[in-house]
Copies of this chain bind each other. A is one copy, B any other.
Amino acid sequence: MKKRIRIKDIAAQAGVSSGTVDRILHNRGNVSEKARAAVEKVLNQVGYKPNIHLSGLSLKKTYEIVISTPHASHGEYWEAIHNGIQEAIDQHESIHIKTTYLTYDQYNIYSCQNVFTQILIMEPDAVIIGPTFKDETIDLAKKLSDKGIPFTFVDSMVEGTSPLAFFSANHYICGYLMCKLLKSLIPETSDIAILQAIRIGDQSANTSILRRKGAYDYLTETNFGNRIHHIQFSVYEAHRNEEMMREFFTAHPNVKGVIVLNSRGNVVANFLEQNNINDIKLVGVDLTKPNIAALKNGRISFLIDQNPDYQGYIAMKTLLEFLILQARPKVENYMPLNIVTKETIDLQLEFNFLKKI
């Protein structure tokens, strides 16, 4: 058991009252510079580490934190991020936190603009942003910085902003790895298709662009000599979609491997299943419910997990430690990428991050 450091011992060593030590520990001001210097010297000597739970207990303030991400559907990526955020809140129950979830339609720029305007009107104590639209996010980030409101990013970083920290998968490595895994599954002579699910009016998200670059770089580095098809398909217009895939795979019978750059790998898996096409290998990303089903029935061979629950957890924990303890985090944080197969998925789900802690 670690030895506890008592406030009255610190006070005695620093030659101040216990009340002064307490005010310094909890940033409640009203302390002379001389007293602060004396106390901080003793704290350093004894290796004092602030305890966020004890600090939180003595704070009367309620922290208003806005979480602004794309809408979260059940069993999907953004829900896992929200679950992680909630876990961090639950773990810090000594701190008074008021959270407001302002989510937007990631395929509707007006929805995003509307929500970001609300955030600026609210003037919360801190914001967690799951970005989609680049220019809108840069604009929001600039205004938050001007107001001195700290914010963290989950899912991805947006260049030209100054977050307290970001927590993101390394999307470039993700794409590189997906292609490498796919290559191990298909014949030397096979062509490859790189698919991307989009909705109407959608520009490619930054994450997909980075993944595509990783995928192409892998193929270039390994001198891939066969054809690479880059195609987009719609998740909404299911009928056109199926027609498009049928046309594509009929026209290109030499494509024996497909990677899907966003979390909709299950759409291709379902097409292959329904059409009884058994010689095309598929690598996808994100442990969504439909992707997991396709992994288990063998249609998807590998899924990459971006650890969204941990992203949400650490983004909120970092914000709280900054708000309460003024702890400055590392800014760039790339999450682990887990490679998941049919054999490991159940173990992975049983002990995912939120169940581990």
Which chain B positions have C-beta within 8 A of A351? Answer: 307, 310, 335-336
From B96, B334, B339, B356, give the contact of A1 (CB < 8 A).
B96
A344, B310: Cβ atoms closer than 8 Å: no
B335, A2: Cβ atoms closer than 8 Å: no
Copies of this protein, total: 2
Say if the beta carbon of A348 comes within 8 Å of chain B.
yes
Q: How far does the alpha carbon of A97 sit from the alpha carbon of B1 in the complex, in Å?
A: 6
Q: How far does the alpha carbon of A171 sit from the alpha carbon of B78 in the complex, in Å?
A: 33
A302-344 at interface with B (beta carbon < 8 Å): 307, 310, 314, 334-341, 343-344
B93, A344: Cβ atoms closer than 8 Å: no
Q: How far does the alpha carbon of A336 sit from the alpha carbon of B1 in the complex, in Å?
A: 30
Say if the beta carbon of A129 comes within 8 Å of chain B.
no
Shortest Cβ distance from residue A180 to the other chain B in the assembled complex, whole angstroms? 7
User: Beyond A177-B341, A336-B344, A336-B348: 20 further Cβ-contacts under 8 Å?
Assistant: A1-B96, A1-B97, A2-B90, A4-B93, A173-B343, A177-B344, A180-B343, A184-B184, A184-B185, A307-B351, A314-B356, A334-B350, A335-B351, A336-B350, A337-B344, A338-B338, A338-B339, A338-B344, A339-B339, A356-B356
Q: List 24 A-B contacts (CB under 8 A).
A: A1-B89, A1-B95, A1-B97, A4-B93, A173-B343, A173-B344, A177-B343, A180-B343, A184-B184, A184-B185, A310-B351, A310-B356, A334-B347, A334-B350, A336-B347, A336-B350, A337-B343, A337-B347, A338-B338, A338-B339, A338-B344, A339-B344, A356-B356, A356-B357
